Amino acid sequence: KAGGESHKYAGVVLGTAAYFLLYYGFLFLQSGTKFACQAADKKDGVKFDREDPFDKRLRGVNRTVGNMMEQMGPFLASVWIHALVASPSVATYCCVVYVVTRALYPVVFGAVPLVFISTLPNYVVIGYLFVTACMA
């Protein structure tokens, strides 16, 4: 650590780590679901297609990972730009809000309007971080 400067970004670093833990958790959930479906299909004598877009058993986990990946760039860019040019403490708080609401996605996916409990706060956080960073 180079003096006290590194401490001011500690929250954003931890928030980013939490984000990636959630990301890998979603990937493991997706893989586990696919392995379970493959085993069930093998037992039933059915050929399993892990890329079948119409397999309802996989839709939720595939969209969970897909949506996480779609928003990864905007979220990470916005949180770090904000931390660097505006406020590391606000960026940390926004990171916590983002990760907690993102974690709800696989639970609320497919249940409109409940899915918005996860997605809307994420979009608001990204927008807020970018706008306030540009105004700093």
Beta-carbon contacts of 99 under 8 Å, excluding residues fewer than 6 positions away, are 15, 18, 19, 22
User: Per-residue pLDDT for 1 more than 60?
Assistant: no
Its pTM surpasses 0.85: yes
Alpha carbon distance 26, 20 (integer Å): 10
Is residue 5 helix, strand or coil? helix
Find the mean pLDDT for residues 113-130: 96
| Whole-number percent of the chain with pLDDT over 90 | 76
Place of tokens 């997706």: 30
Among 28, 29, 19, smallest CA distance to 106 is for 29
Residue type, 95: C
Instruction: Please report the pLDDT score of residue 4 as a whole number.
Output: 61
